[in-house]
Chains A and B, each alone.
Chain A
Amino acid sequence: MKISIYRYDPDKDEKPYMKEYDVELQHSDHMLLDALVRVKDMDDSFAFRRSCREGVCGSDAMNINGKNGLACVTKIADLKEPVMLRPLPGLPVIRDLIVDMTQFFKQYHSIKPYVINHDAPPERERLQSPAEREQLNGLYECILCACCSTACPSFWWNPDKFVGPAGLLQAYRFIADTRDQETAARLDNLEDPYRLFRCHSIMNCVDVCPKNLNPTQAIGKIKELMVRRMV
C-alpha cells in the first residue's frame, strides 16, 4: 500500500515535506491506523497520536485524501492510493501529524461545558423523562476529535473568535439538558457577531464528523432560540 505522509520536525526540518511509504500489509490490517502502525515500525521518527483504536477517544483525527477523519475507523479498502495524509488543517503543527489543539479546546471551554443547576442537589438522582433524555442524543456523543472545526472555513479564519462547530454542538448539548438552568446566559454568551454567527451553514462539519453528529443542526437550533427570545 502506498501512503504519502506530511512530515515536519521543527528540530531538524526547515520546512514540511511529503514522504512516500510503501507498506506491506498483513492480512489482519483493515483500518488506516493499522497501516500507520506499520509505517511507524519501518520509520520510528513518524509521529502521530492514537489510543483507543475504535473511534471513541478522538486521538487520531487527520486529513485523509483531503477529508478529515479518524484513521482507526477508516477502512483501507475504501481509500484511493497513494493515500495522502496531512495534519488537520488550520491548527499549528507541532510535528508530523500532531497539531496543537489549544485553540480548539479553548473554544470548547468557553461555552461552559458543564451542567449548571443552582438548586440544592436532591438526595437521589434528578429526574428526567426518556423523551427529555432523548434530546441529548446526537450531542453528548462528541469525542472532541476536531475533525469538524478544522474542516470549517469560518474556524480557519477566526479560530480565536468563532466557537466552531464542536463547541457550538456542546453549547446546545447543555441548553438541551433539562437539568441545566442557564439557557439565557448560554445564549447571551453566544450573542456576538463572531462566536455563533460566523457559521454560514456550509455543512463541512456534518460531512466529516466520524460520529455522525450534526453540528449545523444544533447551530440552527441555537439561532432559533435566539430569534424566539427576541420576539
Chain B
Amino acid sequence: MIPVRRFDAIVVGAGGSGMRAALELARADLKVAVLSKVFPTRSHTVAAQGGIAAPLANSTEDNWHWHMYDTVKGSDYLGDQDAIEYMCRRANEVVVELEHMGMPFDRLENGKIYQRPFGGHTQDYGSSKMAMRSCAAADRTGHAMLHTLYQQNVRMNTQFFVEWMALDIIRDPQDGAVLGVTALEMETGEVFILQAKATLFATGGAGRIFYASTNAFINTGDGIGMAARAGFPLEDMEFWQFHPTGVYGAGVLITEGVRGEGGFLVNKDGERFMERYAPNAKDLASRDVVSRAMTTEIKEGRGCGPHADHVLLKLSHIKPEDIMQRLPGIREISIKFANADPIRDPIPVVPTVHYQMGGIPAKYTGHVVIPEGNNTDSIVPGFYAVGECACVSVHGANRLGTNSLLDLVVFGKSAGEQVIKDIKALPSPHRTLPKGAGDSTRARLARLDANAAGERVVDVLTDLRRAMQAHCGVFRFPDDLLKGVEKIKEIADRAQRTFIQDKSKVFNTARVEALELDNLIEAAMATIVSAEARKESRGAQARADFPDRDDKNWMKHTLWYKEGNRLSYKPVHLKPLTVDSFEPKVRTY
C-alpha cells in the first residue's frame, strides 16, 4: 500500500500562480500542502522579464475597458470575454497588492510604479497611441514577483513540500471528482498519496516540447500530462506563442520590453522591416504578427548572418544609462549568450517557442470544467487549475506580453478564494479512496525499475522536440502536420519502452526525466492533433493552406482527449460579465 497523507487542499506548483493561491489559502484556517519539483524561487516565473500588465494609468491615460479590448483583440477573438473582463477589472487590485507585499517595482519621479509600453497594449480601443501598462521591476519582473510571493508565504508559514514531484491524479470513479495526487519525494524515492478536498494545479507550461524554446528544463507540462492521463480534455493546445526575440542559437529570451524601450528589428539590409508589416504599431505589434514577419523576412532571403537565418535587434540608439537602468538583465544575457554588448552591438534573434496558450480547461474561479451532457462547462468537484497550465481562456489564440504574470496573480487569488468557499461547504471527513488508488503510478515506476534495455529517454526526447519544431512551427503546412501526427504517434510508442540505467532510490534525476517525458508526450500529441484539425489561421496558428481566420466554422475552442486521440469543440464565451461584447473584427496593427 502507498502511504496516504491528508490535507484540506494541495497546491501542485510553486511558481507565481501556485504561490499566489497558497497565500490566499494561508489566510484561512486550512491544512495546505504546496508541492514543487524545485525550490519555489527556482520556478520558471523567476525568468519573466518585461512586466505585469495593469491599467494603473501612471504615465498614460488608461482603464480596464481598453485593456480588455486589447486582450480580446490580441486573442484573435478566441479568448473568453467573461474571463478577460474579470482579469482586467482585477488587475489594479492585484498589482497594488504585490507592491504592498514589498515587490521592488521601478518608480516614476512622483513615486508611483514605473510602466512601459508593450506589444498590443494600446489606448482608446486600438488607436495608434500605445498605453504604458506594463509595471516593471527593471527587466527582472518575474524574479521580483516570485521572490516577493515566496517571502510572503514564509511570513504566513506555508507548508512547502520541496522537490516533490506529483505523478498522477486520483479520481473518484463515482462522480469523477479529484481526490488528490500520487507524488514522489525526490530525495528518498518514496511515493505517497496526497489526498485533499481541493487539488489545485499550477504546474506551468510544456514549452520543452519544442527544440528551440525560451523555457526552463523543468517546463515539461506535468500538470497537463497528468490531467490527460486521468481522462480530462486539454483545451486549445494548438496555440503556442513564438516569441519574436529568442537569442539565436541559445533560445534564451530577450524581453519585448526592449522594443518597449525603443529597440527595433532590422533585416540584412538594415531595414526596419516591421514598418511594412504593421505600419502603426511597428515593432510593438502583437507577437504572432512580429514572429510571422521575421520568419517571412528570413524565408525570403533577407535574414542576417552566414546562413541568413536570423534577424537583428538594435538598441544601440538607446542611451547607455537607460539600457543599464531599465535593461540590465538583458545586457547581461546578451553579453553572455550572444557575445554582443547591446550598448554597441545588435543582438541576433529568432522567433522561439515561449508560451502555451492552451491547457486544462478552467473558469475564472479556478474550477476545472469539462463538457457533460448539454453543459459544456460542468465543474469537476475538487479540481482547480491556474497559471500557464490552465486555459481560462484569457489569452485565446495569442497572449499579449505581460498578461501572463497578471493571469497568475488574478486567478491564483480567485482560485484561492474559491477553494476556501468550496471546502467550507463540504462535510469534514475526506472521501474514501477508491480501491487501487495509485496503481497506475506504481505501474509506471515498476516499469522503469524493471526495464534493463529499451529506448533511451534522451533519444526519444530529442526526436520529439525536433519533430515538433519541424512539423508545428510559426507557419504550418498541411503535409507537415499530417506527417507530424504520425511521427509523434511513433515517438509516443517508443516512450512506452524507455528504460533508465540508474535504479537508485536517492534523488534519481534519470527517473524524474523519464516521468517528465510521459507528460511532454501528451502535450505534444494534443498540440499536433489539434493543430492538424483546425483548418484556419488564427493568432499563433498560421496555416499555409488556410491563411485566413474563419469565424463561421472555427470560432470555437478545441478539446483534445487522450483516449482515442479524440477531439471535440465548445463555443467561445463571447458575452462579458457586465459590458457589451467586442465583436470580431479583422485584426491589424
| Residues of chain A having any CB pair with chain B under 8 Å | 9-12, 28, 30, 40-41, 43-45, 47-59, 73, 75, 94-96, 98, 101, 105, 109, 112-115, 117, 121, 123-130, 132-133, 136, 140-141, 143-144, 174, 177, 179-180
Query: Is the beta-carbon distance between B216 and A45 smaller than 8 angstroms?
Result: no
Is B155 positioned at the interface, with any CB of A under 8 Å from its CB?
Answer: yes
Is B470 positioned at the interface, with any CB of A under 8 Å from its CB?
Answer: no
Is B144 positioned at the interface, with any CB of A under 8 Å from its CB?
Answer: yes
Contacts of B102 in A (CB 8 A): 114-115, 174, 177, 179-180
Query: Is the beta-carbon distance between A52 and B502 smaller than 8 angstroms?
Result: no
Query: Is the beta-carbon distance between B113 and A52 smaller than 8 angstroms?
Result: no
With A45-B501, A54-B337 known to touch, is A11 a contact of B47 (CB < 8 Å)?
no
Query: Is the beta-carbon distance between B249 and A28 smaller than 8 angstroms?
Result: yes
Besides A127-B110, A179-B102, 7 other A-B contacts (C-beta < 8 A): A44-B458, A51-B42, A52-B46, A53-B216, A114-B155, A133-B105, A144-B39
**Nearest CB of chain B from residue A50's CB, rounded to whole Å:** 6
Residue of B nearest to A123 (CB): B96
The 0/1 profile, CB within 8 Å of A marked 1, for residues 500-513 of chain B is 11101111111001
Is B424 positioned at the interface, with any CB of A under 8 Å from its CB?
Answer: no
Contacts of B110 in A (CB 8 A): 127
Mostly, the A contact residues are loop
Contacts of A121 in B (CB 8 A): 97, 100
**Nearest CB of chain B from residue A98's CB, rounded to whole Å:** 5
A128 to B502, CA, bound (A): 53
Query: Is the beta-carbon distance between A98 and B507 smaller than 8 angstroms?
Result: yes
Query: Is the beta-carbon distance between B333 and A94 smaller than 8 angstroms?
Result: no
**Nearest CB of chain A from residue B210's CB, rounded to whole Å:** 15
Query: Is the beta-carbon distance between A52 and B336 smaller than 8 angstroms?
Result: no
A174 to B101, CA, bound (A): 12
In the complex, which of the residues A30, A43, A56, A117 contacts B46, with contact meaning CB atoms closer than 8 Å? A56
With A98-B507, A114-B101 known to touch, is A125 a contact of B113 (CB < 8 Å)?
yes
Count of chain B residues near A, Cβ 8 A: 60
With A9-B506, A47-B509, A114-B152 known to touch, is A128 a contact of B107 (CB < 8 Å)?
yes
Query: Is the beta-carbon distance between A57 and B216 smaller than 8 angstroms?
Result: yes
Query: Is the beta-carbon distance between B143 and A52 smaller than 8 angstroms?
Result: no
A82 to B182, CA, bound (A): 42
| 29 contacts across the A-B interface (CB closer than 8 A) | A11-B504, A30-B250, A30-B337, A44-B457, A44-B500, A44-B501, A45-B504, A47-B507, A48-B509, A51-B38, A52-B217, A54-B47, A56-B47, A56-B140, A57-B47, A57-B216, A94-B187, A95-B506, A114-B151, A124-B56, A124-B112, A126-B100, A129-B111, A130-B106, A130-B107, A133-B107, A140-B144, A141-B140, A180-B102
A30 to B250, CA, bound (A): 9
**Nearest CB of chain A from residue B510's CB, rounded to whole Å:** 4
Is B453 positioned at the interface, with any CB of A under 8 Å from its CB?
Answer: no
With A141-B143, A143-B143 known to touch, is A133 a contact of B104 (CB < 8 Å)?
yes
Residue of B nearest to A121 (CB): B100
The 0/1 profile, CB within 8 Å of A marked 1, for residues 141-163 of chain B is 00110010001101100000000
A40 to B462, CA, bound (A): 14
Contacts of A57 in B (CB 8 A): 38, 41-44, 46-47, 216
Query: Is the beta-carbon distance between B99 and A130 smaller than 8 angstroms?
Result: no
A141 to B104, CA, bound (A): 10
Contacts of A126 in B (CB 8 A): 99-100
Is B580 positioned at the interface, with any CB of A under 8 Å from its CB?
Answer: no
Is B372 positioned at the interface, with any CB of A under 8 Å from its CB?
Answer: no
With A44-B501, A95-B506 known to touch, is A53 a contact of B217 (CB < 8 Å)?
yes
Is B109 positioned at the interface, with any CB of A under 8 Å from its CB?
Answer: yes
In the complex, which of the residues B337, B504, B509 contacts A12, with contact meaning CB atoms closer than 8 Å? B504
**Nearest CB of chain A from residue B204's CB, rounded to whole Å:** 11
A179 to B41, CA, bound (A): 22
Is B78 positioned at the interface, with any CB of A under 8 Å from its CB?
Answer: no
Query: Is the beta-carbon distance between A125 and B112 smaller than 8 angstroms?
Result: yes
Is B577 positioned at the interface, with any CB of A under 8 Å from its CB?
Answer: no
Query: Is the beta-carbon distance between A143 and B41 smaller than 8 angstroms?
Result: yes
In the complex, which of the residues B109, B140, B216, B505 contacts A129, with contact meaning CB atoms closer than 8 Å? B109
- Return the 9 tightest CB-CB contacts between A and B, nearest first: A115-B102, A127-B111, A45-B502, A44-B510, A114-B151, A57-B42, A125-B99, A11-B504, A95-B507
Most buried by A among B44, B108, B113, B509: B509
**Nearest CB of chain A from residue B453's CB, rounded to whole Å:** 13
**Nearest CB of chain B from residue A3's CB, rounded to whole Å:** 17
Is B252 positioned at the interface, with any CB of A under 8 Å from its CB?
Answer: yes
**Nearest CB of chain B from residue A59's CB, rounded to whole Å:** 5
A49 to B100, CA, bound (A): 33
A30 to B508, CA, bound (A): 26
The 0/1 profile, CB within 8 Å of A marked 1, for residues 80-101 of chain B is 0000000000000000110111
Residue of B nearest to A34 (CB): B250
Contacts of B152 in A (CB 8 A): 114
Contacts of B151 in A (CB 8 A): 113-115
With A101-B39, A121-B100 known to touch, is A44 a contact of B336 (CB < 8 Å)?
no
Contacts of A48 in B (CB 8 A): 509
A141 to B143, CA, bound (A): 8
Contacts of A125 in B (CB 8 A): 56, 96, 99-100, 105, 112-113
Is B392 positioned at the interface, with any CB of A under 8 Å from its CB?
Answer: no
Is B405 positioned at the interface, with any CB of A under 8 Å from its CB?
Answer: no
Query: Is the beta-carbon distance between A54 and B252 smaller than 8 angstroms?
Result: yes
Is B218 positioned at the interface, with any CB of A under 8 Å from its CB?
Answer: yes
Residue of B nearest to A45 (CB): B502
Residue of A nearest to B109 (CB): A130
A53 to B44, CA, bound (A): 11
A202 to B203, CA, bound (A): 41
Q: Using a CB-CB cutoff of 8 Å, which residues 478-528 of chain B contact chain A?
A: 500-502, 504-510, 513
Contacts of B104 in A (CB 8 A): 133, 136, 140, 177
Query: Is the beta-carbon distance between A44 and B333 smaller than 8 angstroms?
Result: no
Residue of B nearest to A42 (CB): B458
With A51-B217, A54-B333, A73-B336 known to touch, is A124 a contact of B96 (CB < 8 Å)?
yes
Query: Is the beta-carbon distance between B216 and A51 smaller than 8 angstroms?
Result: yes
Residue of B nearest to A132 (CB): B107
Contacts of A59 in B (CB 8 A): 38-39, 42
Query: Is the beta-carbon distance between B506 and A10 smaller than 8 angstroms?
Result: yes
Contacts of A115 in B (CB 8 A): 101-102, 151
Contacts of B38 in A (CB 8 A): 49, 51, 57, 59
**Nearest CB of chain A from residue B242's CB, rounded to whole Å:** 18
Most buried by A among B113, B507, B510: B507
Contacts of A52 in B (CB 8 A): 42, 44, 46-47, 216-217
A55 to B253, CA, bound (A): 12
Residue of A nearest to B110 (CB): A127
With A44-B501, A52-B47, A114-B151 known to touch, is A129 a contact of B107 (CB < 8 Å)?
yes
Query: Is the beta-carbon distance between A140 and B100 smaller than 8 angstroms?
Result: no
**Nearest CB of chain A from residue B9's CB, rounded to whole Å:** 22
Q: Using a CB-CB cutoff of 8 Å, which residues 325-369 of chain B contact chain A?
A: 329, 332-333, 336-337
Q: Using a CB-CB cutoff of 8 Å, which residues 51-94 of chain B contact chain A?
A: 56
A48 to B510, CA, bound (A): 10
A109 to B216, CA, bound (A): 26
Contacts of B109 in A (CB 8 A): 129-130
Contacts of B107 in A (CB 8 A): 127-130, 132-133
A51 to B218, CA, bound (A): 6
